[in-house]
A and B are shown apart, each in its own frame.
Chain A
Amino acid sequence: SYELTQPPSVSVSPGQTASITCSGDKLGGKSACWYQQRPGQSPVLVIYQDTKRPSGIPERFSGSNSGNTATLTIGGTRAMDEADYYCQAWDSSAAAVFGTGTKVTVL
């Protein structure tokens, strides 16, 4: 089965840039998206189709996808960005696959 691997945790200082990677076989040939989940809340879509932001998502969130790695970048990180982040793609049988999740801590 298809797997997506993320680092368990990323730490960042306020105002700095956080990068979260998502690795999967030939992931660059698929469409990747990213979700933010704050404690006790439902996931929120922050990036879709590799690079697009839904309305209402701040410009400091950006995405890229090439080769075997998709990356979510949070520029000018704020305390409110502290959350778990999950990448997601679709495998060859049209099943949704979520990444292992990354906890972002704003120190």
Chain B
Amino acid sequence: EVQLVQSGAEVKKPGESLKISCKCSGYSFMSFWIGWVRQMPGKGLEWMGSIYPEDSDTRYSPSLQGQVTISVDKPISTAYLQWSSLKASDTATYYCARRYGDPTILAYAFDVWGQGTVVTVSS
């Protein structure tokens, strides 16, 4: 069974750093892009970026470029999303998801999602 298991809820202060994780199992971790999706309280889904574990090729949303870093640890099949200096506006639920699809027709979807990590940033 394909599973993406995320790290637990976090409560942080503005200016602190944070790294959340997404442990992947049940498939070839190297072969599928992993995406991160933000959902602010009461709002919709927003793609933040994606990473290809085999070569760590990473793409970011232009609106979030430079504000977060996406990485992987290949031996433990885990993807990460990290901040160096959190802001109150980073309060949200963050999901990781596996990208599945047909590259010959550029048709992709996020077929398996993690359970979400709630991040609260407050002084």
A24 at the interface (CB under 8 A from B): no
- How many residues in B have their beta carbons less than 8 Å from beta carbons of A? 26
Give the interface segment out of B9-17, B24-32, B39-47, B70-78: B39-47
Residues A43 and B101 in contact, CB atoms below 8 Å apart = no
Inter-subunit contact A31/B59 (CB<8 Å): no
C-alpha spacing A42/B110, complex, angstroms: 12
Nearest A residue to B35 via CB reads A96
Q: SS class of chain B's interface: helix, strand, loop or mixed?
A: strand
Interface residues on A, range: 20 to 34
Does A80 have its Cβ within 8 Å of any Cβ on chain B?
Answer: no
Find A86's partner among B45, B101, B105 (CB 8 Å cutoff): B45
Shortest beta-carbon contacts, A-B, top 9: A31-B107, A96-B47, A48-B109, A33-B109, A101-B44, A42-B113, A98-B45, A49-B107, A45-B111
Chain A contact residues, CB within 8 Å of chain B: 1, 30-31, 33, 35, 37, 42-45, 48-49, 54, 84, 86, 88, 90, 94-101
| B interface residues (Cβ-Cβ under 8 A, vs A) | 35, 37, 44-47, 50, 59, 61-62, 95, 97, 100-102, 105-111, 113-116
List 13 interface pairs A-B (beta carbons < 8 Å), by A numbering.
A31-B105, A33-B109, A43-B45, A43-B95, A43-B97, A48-B100, A48-B101, A48-B109, A48-B111, A49-B105, A95-B61, A98-B45, A100-B44
